[in-house]
Structures are given as C-alpha cells and as structure tokens.
C-alpha cells in the first residue's frame, strides 16, 4: 500500500499516523531487525530507516551517535536493502529511507533508486537536497519511490506550497529550527508555524518531526498534523541498552497518543 493511503486510512479512523525512525544497523547488524519488528509490533504505521553517514547535518547528537556506531560496524547500503527485505517478509508496513546525498551519489543515484525499490522500500528523504536541486538530483523515473520533501519554520508560504506540489507520500514538517532531538522547547511560535504550514498543505498529508519526544507533544500538536515522527526518543533508549520488548511498549504509548 502507498504511504499516502496508509496515512489516509489512519486519519479516516480519527487517528494520527505514527512513524518511528531507526538507524539502519544500530545497535548492531544482528539486533537491528529485532528493534524494527518491535516498532512494528508496537503499532507503528510507517518505519523510517536512517542511512548511517559521517556528517548528518540535520541530525542531533543522539542520532549522530547511533550513525557513528553503525558506521563502525561497516553497515553498507547493500546491508540496508537486505534489512528492508527482511522487514518486508515480516510486515507490509511502508518503509521510508532517510539519507544524505553523498552516499547515494557514490552508490549511483539510478542504481540506488532501483535497488531501494527492489528491496521493498516505499519512500526516500534526502534532507540536504533542497527544492531548487530536486530536478537535478533525482532522475525522471524514481522507480516507484515517493520522494518526501521537508518544510521548516523559515519556509515562506510560497515555498511550502511548492514543496507540497513536488513532494510525494507526505510532507515532512520540521517543527523547530536546528537539528533532531527529543529535548526541544516548543512555544507559541511553534504552534503558529505548524498551524500555518498545515493550512497550506493541500496535495499531501503532513507529518511533524524533530523534537517529538513524549506523548504530550503529540497531544499538543494533534490538530495541526496528519501524523508524527518519533526518532531521537527511541534511539536514545536503545543507546541506553533498552531491549526490543520495552521499545515495543514505548511505541505503543506513542501510538495511543495518536488516537
């Protein structure tokens, strides 16, 4: 099922969709699938899988640490495609790859899209490719992958509309300026930013990410999004040694907050 259809199906039940971010190959190659299955069993609607990179500009210290650990184990793009194949055997949940331009360029853009799609991936986020470089970076044929673009608090109304027009699957709304992390301070300006962005997104569904670290965050922004993305909160728990069974329970708590 397409990403958009999954979100729409959840919304029709008067609920918000939940995406959980996991760094591929973290905490190690053998246990990664166990954590992915735990998130799925906890009720996540979409699984976002981060491609480890040495200079992840949009990621805060927690996700950077997980990426560094994965790189030390030599996690490769081929490993990641194998992970997705394993996940696909377990569940038909949509999977979205999140990675930076350099590893994709090195692998070969066309080859990457072909192999990612063949593995069972449904979407792709490349945060360091802005709207202006979209047509240059991505081939005309994305081989069935939804290319998901991001808005930020500094995005103008015109830019948000253009991102909505170009994006597929959903629009990733960055809640606050800066990098990822579960310790963000939300104020009235955050609410106004989310309300404004949500009102301008008409083609796609909108998911809020960056700083969604507790169920209360979901409840606070519930009316201004079609879903939420939780990353650093989960990654931090895994860094601290939390086992998959407990991660499943954590995901269930966030899923319950989604309605």
Q: Which CATH number fits domain 3-257: 3.40.50.2300, 3.50.50.60, 3.30.43.10, 3.20.20.70?
A: 3.20.20.70
Among 42, 51, 60, 57, which Cα is nearest to 23's? 51
How far is Cα 114 from Cα 33, in angstroms, rounded to an integer? 22
Cα(44)–Cα(168) distance, integer angstroms: 20
Helix (H, G, I), strand (E, B) or coil at 168: coil
Please write down the HEC assignment for all residues of 71-130: HHCCCCHHHHHHHHHHHHHHCCCCEEEECCHHHHHHHCHHHHHHHHHHHCCCEEECCCCC
Secondary structure of 45-82 in the HEC alphabet? CEEEEECCCCCCCCCCHHHHHHHHHHHHCCCCHHHHHH
Q: Known catalytic residues? A: 48, 59
CA-CA-CA-CA torsion sign (87, 236, 61, 174): positive
Write down the pTM of the prediction: 0.94
Return the bridge partners of 174, or none: 209
Decide if 226 contacts 206 (C-beta within 8 A). yes
Give the whole-angstrom CA distance, residue 140 versus residue 110: 10
Dmax of the chain from CA atoms? 45
Provide the token pair at 93.
């949940």
- Token pair, residue 39, equals 């998130």
Provide the 8-state DSSP code for 236.
Answer: H
Domain ranges within the chain, ordered by starting residue? 3-257
Of 69, 88, 77, the residue nearest 31 (C-alpha): 69
pLDDT of residue 53: 87
Query: Could you read off the pLDDT tens digit of each residue along the chain, which spans 259 residues?
Result: 789 999 999 999 999 999 999 999 999 999 999 999 999 999 999 999 999 988 767 567 888 899 999 999 999 999 999 999 999 999 999 999 999 999 999 999 999 999 999 999 999 999 999 999 999 999 888 999 999 999 999 999 999 999 999 999 999 999 876 544 445 566 778 899 999 999 999 999 999 998 899 999 999 999 999 999 999 999 999 999 999 999 999 999 999 999 9
In our burial notation (b when 16+ CB lie closer than 10 A, e otherwise), range 215-250 reads bebbeebeebbbbbbbbbbbbbbbbeebebeebbeb
| Cα–Cα dist 52/30, whole Å | 16
């Amino acid at each position: 099922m397409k990403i958009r259809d999954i979100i729409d199906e959840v919304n029709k039940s008067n609920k918000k969709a939940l995406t959980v971010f996991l760094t591929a190959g973290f905490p190690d190659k053998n246990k990664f699938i166990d954590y992915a299955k735990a998130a799925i069993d906890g009720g996540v609607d979409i699984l976002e899988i981060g491609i480890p990179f040495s200079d992840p500009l949009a990621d805060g210290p927690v996700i950077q640490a997980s990426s560094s650990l994965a790189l030390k184990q030599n996690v490769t793009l081929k490993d990641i495609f194998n992970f997705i194949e394993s996940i696909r055997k377990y569940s038909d949940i949509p999977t979205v790859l999140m990675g930076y331009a350099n590893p994709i360029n090195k692998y070969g853009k066309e080859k990457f899209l072909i192999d990612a799609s063949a593995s069972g991936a449904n979407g792709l986020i490349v945060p360091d490719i802005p709207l202006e470089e979209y047509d240059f970076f991505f081939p005309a044929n994305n081989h069935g992958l939804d290319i998901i673009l991001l808005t930020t608090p500094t995005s103008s109304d015109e830019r948000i509309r253009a991102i909505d027009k170009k994006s597929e699957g959903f629009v990733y709304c960055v809640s606050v300026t800066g990098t990822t992390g579960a310790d963000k301070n939300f104020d009235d300006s955050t609410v106004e930013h989310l309300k404004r962005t949500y009102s301008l997104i008409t083609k796609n569904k909108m998911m809020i990410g960056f700083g969604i670290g507790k169920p209360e965050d979901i409840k606070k922004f519930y009316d201004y999004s079609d879903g939420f993305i939780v990353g650093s909160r989960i990654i931090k728990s895994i860094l601290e040694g939390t086992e998959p069974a407990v991660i499943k329970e954590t995901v269930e708590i966030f899923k319950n907050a989604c309605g």
